[in-house]
Structure 1
């Protein structure tokens, strides 16, 4: 895989049992790239390793006054210099390709998982954690994949050089062959502590990212209540904790780097000291000593790769574990056509867990006192909460359980609009260009959602002065629009889709009562013959629903029309927002009025009897 070939047609099915297994899976899937980078790295390092040999030959040629050997050594240096340049260039190209393609694979997997889970992802994993995994963690995972091939070439070259030294000059070669493993193993006791500090830094950085994400998402609300300074102070504290953790971690890695410099230096001193003694005794020549010295100096270079791979693994292992945690989230809805081969499902929408039933072709309103419970119920009705390991049975559309449907089929049959729908950046025409049945036109959907004033505002903001609202760009998440305008455009987008079943969670919470009444009329008219479920406690919407279901403590408490359910004290308390005290006062007033009326009736009866 080359960078120009990205994205992957299919990023594959990762092994998410643990972070190391995910890293191993990535390595296996990029085996060709890893081997290519390792070969180029071996060529580069082997050329660097042989360079001291030619230097030793040149020195010995000068000592022996041999012009031919000196010329031969010069020619070998030119050749090795060329090989070093080519090997280093190609190693960099292939290693960076491995980094980018590995990061792209993980990002595609995360994007696929996000699309698969939809709005339930941020209910199971914090939004800040998802952002941290898809940015910083992906980069660290790619770093390890990139460093792995260079480490492999360094290890292979180091072993070859040590063996060659033992053969070339046994007296000095044995010293080097024994000293190099000691240098490599010397840092192992420091790695667990360094890894722990790196984990602490990442954990605090994740919390700071989550806090920043939540603050930006609620900035408008914070400004409304004057809470910017409070959250800014919290972020400052979190940022300082991240800085302190980073410094704490950097000190340990600096210590490891110092050990990697100091110990090879001691080995080099020992080799030179011992080698000078051998030269004085006449056991080896000056050229041989220069060759061994140069080779030992070269070994300092691959030893740095050992330090880097240790650091890369220490940082990437927790990052891979967090990525695996997100990628391991499952839903039982199949993501391919393997799970269901029957006809398109049709019929009533039923949630066995709560008992909510939405008859086919009708507008059903669901009243739930707990907004969080309402959101979870809406997710279950759309099949988004299936497979949460809660043991709750999946919602059914007709005779088919939604967890038996492929993901595409389930979403085509049942569309859920979250209470906080997202508008992607782009023109209004692009926003409304969604997969649809074609039965509902854009104009009809915009009219039913009462988007007239929104179209006027967009026409005035048209960048090309065309006055066409469909060509006006909408900023990211619709931040240039008010909450009510965003809500109505999102509703229009859902209506254009025209799914068999449409589930709306508080679709009019940000609009005024007059607009809400018109939206209720337009929604009912446009969705005639289609199953529609609206989660709301607004009397304007409830009064226009064909049937209303009152859910209390996770199960259906009552059902009927809005006017019928007003006789229920619990339903009336949720819809009218009356408190227990107000309800008691109202009942007392009604009782007093009845008693007064009864007293008057008795007086009239007494007068009639007297007459």
Structure 2
């Protein structure tokens, strides 16, 4: 696998049962690259280890005054230098390729899982954790996968050198063969503590990242309520905890590094002391002593990879554990080929709540709890909890449809939709039926002022569709972002469109026009709007009240306001006593008008404020003026 071949056509199905299993799966999927790195690593390390033997041969040649042997040793030194450079160069290239390949595979897996889960991902895993996994954790996972082959080459080189020394000079070789394993294993008792401290550091860093992400996402709201200093202090404390944990972890790794320097030094002293005694007794030659001494000195180079692999595993294991946790999240679907790819058309029914959205009609759903409304929208989009029954479309469970078919059939727009950076034309470059034009969708969502604002803010865009939108649409107001997202959903024109509070950030005049635009543009299409706005509810063909997780009333808006106290309490924001007093002896039309008035749909400039009591008769007069104007 070469870097230019990325991305993968298919990154594969990961083993996400645990962090170590995920790392093992990544390694097995890169066996070709691992063997290449192993081969180049062996060439490099054995060439480095061969230098002492060349030096020993040269010394022996000088002592024996043999020009031939001296020339041979010189040629061997030159060959070792060439192979060291060659092996190091290609080892680095192969190692970096393995690192990038592993990281790219993990990123593709995460991107695929994110696309499969959609908005359900951030409801099951904190957004900050997803950011941490897709950035820093990916690099650490790639580091370990890449380091395995270099460590294997270093370990094999150490074994070969020890065997060669025992054969070359048994008296000193045995000392080295006993001492080197002690050096390699001496730090093992310290690794569990180092690993725990590394885990603690990564955990605290992950929490700090989550806090930073959540703070940035809600910065506008925090500034509005004056809470930015409070969250800044919280982030400071979290950052300091990360710093302290990093210092504690660094101290442990510094101790391990110190031991890795101290013990080879002690082994070298022991070899020199024992070797000098053997040389004085004539049991070994000077050349043999120099060879063994140089070999012990150069063994420190491959031995450092023992420390690196321990550090890489300590840091990558929690990262792999977090990645495996995200990758193990499943959308409860049957096999992709279990049903035909054709998109079903018919009624949308949720067995859990009893909600029925008839095909081709505009259904409004009222929930007293906004969080419950969000969960219901998620269910209608096919993201039902594993233990619950799936939503049915034309009698077909959504979780039994292939993912592409399910998403073509049902589109859910969250109450907080995301706008990616780019031009407005790119924003609308989404899979669509082709039945609705971009101009029709923008007009229905009342985006005229948004187009003007984008055109004025972009000097080089002749067409408003070519005007650029900043990241997450931060240059636009909340209402403008919401309308652009609505236009994108309308342009897609799915079989079933689910809108969660699509007008919560716009004024009442714009909301009334948007409600009419949705009804006109989605005529003959199944549309479900989760809202408590009387303007939207009054235009719906069917209104459903969901209370405590089940449907308790079905009808039209005016009928439900009159006969259902729980519905009236949610829509008018009144208590039962207040509603009874205000509606005693009043007609149904006046009651509905009062509900609209209480919700803040101020019909004209200079109208009475919402908190001022007004008779339903006065409100009816205002509504008649609105209808005549329309």
Tell me the equivalent position of 2:554.
559
Tell me the equivalent position of 2:340.
341
Q: TM-score, normalization: structure 2?
A: 0.91
Cα distance in 1 for residues equivalent to 2:183 and 2:40: 25
Tell me the equivalent position of 1:603.
none
Cα distance in 2 for residues equivalent to 1:588 and 1:346: 46
**Aligned to 2:118, what secondary structure does the other structure show?**
helix
**Aligned to 1:22, what secondary structure does the other structure show?**
helix
Provide, for residues 220-254 of structure 1, a one-character-per-residue CA deviation record: whole Å limited to 9, x for no partner.
11111121211111111111110000000000000
Tell me the equivalent position of 1:527.
522
Cα distance in 1 for residues equivalent to 2:579 and 2:286: 109
Tell me the equivalent position of 1:507.
502
Tell me the equivalent position of 2:216.
216
Q: TM-score, normalization: structure 1?
A: 0.94
Is 2:429 aligned against 1:424?
Answer: no
**Aligned to 1:394, what secondary structure does the other structure show?**
coil
Contact residue 341 and residue 405 of structure 2 kept, 8 A = no
Cα distance in 2 for residues equivalent to 1:182 and 1:375: 60
CA distance change for structure 1 residues 465 and 373 in 2, over 3 Å: closer, same or farther? closer
1:583-594 alignment to 2 at 5 Å? Answer: 583-587=576-580
How many residues are matched?
585
Tell me the equivalent position of 1:274.
274
Tell me the equivalent position of 2:239.
239
How far apart are 1:295 and its partner, in Å?
Answer: 0.8
Cα distance in 2 for residues equivalent to 1:94 and 1:147: 11
Cα distance in 2 for residues equivalent to 1:223 and 1:501: 37
1:193-592 alignment to 2 at 5 Å? Answer: 193-334=193-334, 337-341=336-340, 343-383=342-382, 385-386=383-384, 388-389=385-386, 391-464=387-460, 466=462, 468-566=463-561, 567-578=563-574, 580=575, 583-587=576-580
Cα distance in 2 for residues equivalent to 1:375 and 1:587: 31
How far apart are 1:592 and its partner, in Å?
Answer: 11
How far apart are 1:339 and its partner, in Å?
Answer: 2.3
Cα distance in 1 for residues equivalent to 2:224 and 2:366: 29
How far apart are 1:459 and its partner, in Å?
Answer: 1.6
Cα distance in 1 for residues equivalent to 2:582 and 2:128: 52
**Aligned to 1:199, what secondary structure does the other structure show?**
helix
Provide, for residues 238-289 of structure 1, a one-character-per-residue CA deviation record: whole Å limited to 9, x for no partner.
1111000000000000001111111111111111111111101100000000
Tell me the equivalent position of 1:606.
none
1:72-221 alignment to 2 at 5 Å? Answer: 72-221=72-221
Point out where structure 2 has 5 or more consecutive residues left out of the alignment.
587-630
Cα distance in 1 for residues equivalent to 2:475 and 2:119: 23
Cα distance in 2 for residues equivalent to 1:67 and 1:463: 80
Cα distance in 2 for residues equivalent to 1:108 and 1:357: 38
Cα distance in 2 for residues equivalent to 1:457 and 1:165: 78
CA distance change for structure 1 residues 112 and 589 in 2, over 3 Å: closer, same or farther? closer
Tell me the equivalent position of 1:605.
none
Tell me the equivalent position of 1:28.
28
RMSD: 1.3
How far apart are 1:368 and its partner, in Å?
Answer: 0.5
Cα distance in 2 for residues equivalent to 1:103 and 1:454: 40
How far apart are 1:591 and its partner, in Å?
Answer: 7.0
How far apart are 1:341 and its partner, in Å?
Answer: 2.0
CA distance change for structure 1 residues 465 and 36 in 2, over 3 Å: closer, same or farther? closer
Deviates more, 1:336-345 or 1:146-155: 336-345
Cα distance in 1 for residues equivalent to 2:220 and 2:322: 31
How far apart are 1:40 and its partner, in Å?
Answer: 0.1
Cα distance in 1 for residues equivalent to 2:464 and 2:526: 31
CA distance change for structure 1 residues 585 and 562 in 2, over 3 Å: closer, same or farther? closer
CA distance change for structure 1 residues 585 and 444 in 2, over 3 Å: closer, same or farther? closer
